[in-house]
Structure 1
Amino acid sequence: MSFDLRRSSHLSRLLESLRLERGLRPGQLASILGASNSFKVGSLIRSFELGGPITTHWLEKLVVELQPNPSDLARCLELDQQEAELQLEQDRLAWESWADEPIEPFLTIRYMPAVYGVREVPKAFCTPRENPEDREWARERAEDWAAAELKRFRGKGFLNWSRRERTWFDERGINPQRRPVTFEGRAAGAWMQLSGSQQKFLLDSSGKLITQSYGLDHPC
């Protein structure tokens, strides 16, 4: 059983039309599909019809039960694939442009699971340097500072040297590893979000909420 999330527009509208042809409400269809919680799964079905995600498990059950015409099914899948590829390319271009923008380096700290804060890197390590050796020296000193901060807070974290370069640390600032950030790994950021809210936030050094910059403007 797969629990990958799927989104659709053409296919979801096709399945919605077949549900309506049978005079079924989403909850009734969920019961027919064998859902133990017909209200919850009915809400999932309706959300999918409106463009939200659905698990592969329930999508496969919908297709088996509603039995769309094979040619209509193939056409919808093809159109959805084309639109998904176009959207992915647009997201990639937006991310590449965003990732090229310069930032002031900062440290992301995971105080505990799902609780994140940030610290600005001392300016002495951030001054632009033309010489590669000087730049490497500055980054090494910034990594030393980050390790000390993480040890002080007994947390994990990563140094955001740029939007394309990070140094990851295990708990207490040990085992630093430099890793590039790519579009494919773009979700490797860190922030907090309340249930039901779209607002992302972090904590600053005084415990106040941060809602801008520090990766919170991630485009996709």
Structure 2
Amino acid sequence: MSSGVRRSSHLSRHLAALRQQRDLKPGQLAARLGASNLSKVGSLIRAFELGEPISDHWLEKLIAELQPDPEELRRCLELDQAEALEQLERERIAWEEWADEPIDPYLSIRYSPGAGLVKKVPSAFCSPRETEKREWARHRAEDWAADQLKRCRHKGILTWSRRERTWFDQYGLNPRRGTVTFEGRCTGAWMQVRGSQQRFLLGSGDEVITRSHGLDQP
């Protein structure tokens, strides 16, 4: 197995049943796995049984200790994989629909790894729809973004649409256009409070932004 993190359903329920058949509490099973922190690993095991992800390290130890029937293990893994692929396809379809929705272009200015703000691109650069005029408008928007970054001496990302971005180095140098895909959808800049899943940005007026700037994506 790889060293990643796995989320399971059929397998986790099967391993939970094997634990219960042996009349072991999660903490007792953690002790059998050689855990130094029984409470922490016991909670991890129980969370996995309820559908939370688990690292391959502990999953391999669980399988070695509980010794599920090889055929049943294979069946659970195949079912989990099939369901994961179906879920991924549903997420891809939802993301593609979301990515096609029009937005107001904006510039994300990154002051530090944990701080930044957003500036709306002037409307004069955003209205043309014809391909040639749109390309001209985007060039002007990139010039505007580079000037903004030069003034504040920071890096930034111009988001032209939910699929099109231009990355700038410090001082607005070296603009690089790129296309955002479903596979690379997590690229971007935002802030996040430790322990929270909520991502946010600050607007130029210090307002908190979470929607329409890529932070509400499926």
Show the counterpart of 2:123: 123
Per-residue deviation, residues 39-98 of structure 1 (Å, max 9, x unmatched) = 222222211111111111111111111111111101101110110011011001000100
Q: Does residue 142 of structure 1 match 2:141?
A: yes
1:2 Cα offset (Å):
4.4
Pairing 1:71-220 to 2, within 5 Å after superposition: 71-130=71-130, 132-219=131-218
Residue range with higher mean Cα deviation, 161-170 or 29-38: 29-38
Per-residue deviation, residues 114-141 of structure 1 (Å, max 9, x unmatched) = 22321101111111242x3322221111
1:34 Cα offset (Å):
2.1
In structure 2, what residue type is equivalent to 1:191?
Answer: W
Q: Match of 1:57, SS?
A: helix
Deviating beyond 4 angstroms after TM superposition, the runs of 4 or more aligned structure 1 residues are none
Change (3 A) 1:30 1:110: farther
Per-residue deviation, residues 13-60 of structure 1 (Å, max 9, x unmatched) = 111111122222222222222223222222222111111111111111
| Equivalent pair of 1:2/1:57 in contact (CA under 8 Å) | no
| Equivalent pair of 2:157/2:166 in contact (CA under 8 Å) | yes
Mapped partners of 1:68, 1:156: distance in 2? 52
Q: Does residue 3 of structure 1 match 2:10?
A: no
Mapped partners of 1:156, 1:178: distance in 2? 14
Residue range with higher mean Cα deviation, 54-63 or 34-43: 34-43
Mapped partners of 1:171, 1:40: distance in 2? 43
Unaligned runs of 5+ in 1: none
Identity, in percent, stands at 67
In structure 1, what residue type is equivalent to 2:97?
Answer: S
Q: Match of 1:34, SS?
A: coil
TM-score (norm 1): 0.92
Mapped partners of 1:19, 1:172: distance in 2? 58
Mapped partners of 1:208, 1:101: distance in 2? 23
| Equivalent pair of 2:103/2:212 in contact (CA under 8 Å) | no
1:166 Cα offset (Å):
0.7
In structure 2, what residue type is equivalent to 1:8?
Answer: S
Per-residue deviation, residues 128-170 of structure 1 (Å, max 9, x unmatched) = 242x332222111111111222233332221111111111112
Please tell me the root mean square deviation across aligned C-alpha atoms, in Å: 1.7
Show the counterpart of 2:40: 40
Change (3 A) 1:36 1:170: farther
| Equivalent pair of 1:158/1:166 in contact (CA under 8 Å) | yes
Mapped partners of 1:207, 1:31: distance in 2? 50
Mapped partners of 1:171, 1:25: distance in 2? 54
TM-score (norm 2): 0.92
Report how many residues are paired.
218
Q: Match of 2:110, SS?
A: strand
Mapped partners of 1:20, 1:116: distance in 2? 49
In structure 2, what residue type is equivalent to 1:74?
Answer: R
Mapped partners of 1:197, 1:209: distance in 2? 15
Show the counterpart of 1:60: 60
Change (3 A) 1:193 1:68: same
Mapped partners of 2:134, 2:206: distance in 1? 31
In structure 2, what residue type is equivalent to 1:30?
Answer: A
Mapped partners of 2:147, 2:30: distance in 1? 53
